[in-house]
């Protein structure tokens, strides 16, 4: 083995050690370039984040604030939004120029108020560079036991709300010829699993709308990113609604073992930095299921039917 390495070194005219050091140096240089690019892309940019008072939205606020963005944080609870603002002010590192975020309080599920909220958002800095549609609600329940009003409520928050806000902000982006729209969808926007009908339906609709939007606004120089994570370690399942509209109140094992919201927030930042169109954040099995649904749907349907029977058995115990 040692003789072989020495022969390779003689042929290459250089030792393995210097090559390894050079490779490490190149990797470090690439990391530095990426960090600088992120700061250049987002420094001073106006970034709107919905659902910013907790969970993934709060983590997105942290990473975009650290990148020098001028944030507009949106949510239903002004007190909690203000707590995020104060926390960001304390945690600034001084290396990047940062700004005190603005806040706009409104209920995204009330589409009648979204237009006025959008007007308030635009008053903060006169325009929006990046809109991150993050706010959402989850659902757990059987279709047989779910009232149609619950299906509608989930659609209002997860689909009609982001659509209304996007359409309200969009004309100003078109006029400027610049802007990036991000929506946090889900793996369940690509595949549907049992006992998640309202949630999966809202995310499928979200995927379709923003795919259409991407194609339509490219000619204006705008960008659209759909982020589809698997389970994220937040309170989403705790706050999920059930078939009768009551709160689920359980931290699912899959959620507890899910993605760290910090990692997902950095993936969102990366999607904006590199203008990624469609990002799937999932482990091997969910990713395989997405492809299986397309390439071998019969097998996927059998798997989902088996999962439904298994989950039903657990619920009845």
Residues carrying an active site annotation: 199
Radius of gyration of the chain measured on its C-alpha atoms:
23
Q: Are strands 46-49 and 130-133 parallel, antiparallel or unpaired?
A: parallel
Nearest-5° Cα angle at 56, 54 to 59: 85
User: What separation in angstroms does the CA of 295 have from each of 189, 204, 288?
Assistant: 17, 18, 10
| Contact by Cβ (8 Å): 64, 101 | no
- Exposure string over 240-252, b if 16+ CB within 10 A, otherwise e: bbbbeeeebeeeb
Separation between Cα atoms, residue 195 and residue 312, nearest integer Å: 9
Q: How far is residue 260's CA from residue 296's CA, in Å, rounded to a whole number?
A: 31
């Amino acid at each position: 083995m040692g003789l072989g390495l020495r022969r390779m070194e003689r042929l290459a005219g250089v030792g393995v050690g210097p090559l390894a050091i050079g490779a490490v140096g190149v990797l470090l240089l690439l990391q530095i370039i990426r960090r600088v690019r992120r700061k250049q892309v987002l420094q001073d940019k106006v970034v709107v984040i919905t659902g910013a008072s907790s969970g993934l939205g709060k983590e997105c606020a942290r990473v975009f604030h650290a990148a020098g963005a001028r944030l507009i944080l949106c949510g239903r609870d002004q007190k909690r939004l203000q707590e995020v603002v104060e926390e960001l002010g304390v945690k600034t590192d001084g290396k990047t120029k940062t700004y005190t975020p603005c806040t706009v309080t409104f209920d995204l599920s009330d589409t009648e108020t979204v237009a006025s909220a959008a007007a308030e958002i635009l008053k903060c800095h006169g325009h929006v560079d990046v809109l991150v549609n993050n706010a959402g609600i989850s659902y757990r329940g059987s279709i047989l036991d779910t009232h149609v009003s619950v299906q509608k409520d989930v659609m209002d928050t997860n689909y009609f709300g982001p659509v209304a806000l996007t359409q309200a902000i969009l004309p100003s982006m078109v006029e400027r010829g610049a802007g990036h729209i991000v929506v946090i969808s889900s793996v369940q926007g690509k595949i549907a699993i049992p006992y998640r009908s309202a949630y999966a339906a809202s995310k499928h609709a979200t995927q379709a709308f923003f795919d259409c939007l991407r194609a339509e606004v490219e000619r204006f120089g705008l960008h659209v990113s759909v982020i589809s994570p698997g389970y994220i370690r937040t309170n989403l399942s705790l706050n999920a609604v059930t078939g009768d509209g009551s709160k689920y109140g359980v931290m699912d094992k899959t959620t507890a073992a899910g993605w760290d919201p910090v990692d997902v927030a950095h993936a969102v930042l990366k999607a904006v930095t590199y203008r990624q169109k469609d990002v799937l954040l999932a482990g091997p099995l969910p990713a395989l299921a997405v492809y299986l649904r397309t390439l071998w749907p019969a097998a996927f349907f059998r798997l989902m039917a088996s999962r439904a029977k298994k989950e039903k058995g657990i619920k009845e115990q």
